[in-house]
């Protein structure tokens, strides 16, 4: 299955999906030294975002979240790419600083389609990205 989205930070990535059916605050929600989600209210509490294609609603919280995203990259613990339903300045700035591919506004709600472990191929090298989904076990 292929889905189009808007490119915010260009790039390519291939990897396993980690889906969070909620917004995510990187500041106080993700440990930049482990890549683990530490927000106890998150449905993904305890999961590791490192090396994943992170799919979530969008960002929330402090502007310091941008620097947490950058720290994750600097520490080798960043996601390979991020796909959000609607991007905002904190996530976009962090992704740009860290050079992590970021897309938003997918033409279909990926939170209803993608599951943890699905293989995602993201090509976001133009204004519109192509997200290719291969279901886990297919």
Q: Which residues are catalytic?
A: 62
Q: Please report the beta strands in 10-112, taking only residues with DSSP state E, as ranges in sequence order.
A: 11-20, 53-56, 81-84, 102-104
In this structure, what token pair is assigned to residue 55?
């799919």
In this structure, what token pair is assigned to residue 111?
């939170």
Phi, psi of 67 (to 5 degrees): -75, -25
CA-based nearest residue to 69, from 78, 57, 82, 60:
78
């Amino acid at each position: 299955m292929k889905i189009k989205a808007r490119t915010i930070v260009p790039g390519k990535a291939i990897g396993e999906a980690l889906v969070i059916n909620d917004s995510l605050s990187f500041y106080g929600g993700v440990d930049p030294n482990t890549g683990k989600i530490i927000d106890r209210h998150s449905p993904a509490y305890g999961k590791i975002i490192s090396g994943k294609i992170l799919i979530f609603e969008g960002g929330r919280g402090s502007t310091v979240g941008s620097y947490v995203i950058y720290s994750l990259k600097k520490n080798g613990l960043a996601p390979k790419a991020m796909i959000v339903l609607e991007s905002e300045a904190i996530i976009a700035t962090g992704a740009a600083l860290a050079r992590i591919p970021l897309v938003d506004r997918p033409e279909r709600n990926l939170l209803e389609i993608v599951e943890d472990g699905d293989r995602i191929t993201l090509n976001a090298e133009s204004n519109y990205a192509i997200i290719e989904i291969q279901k886990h076990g297919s």
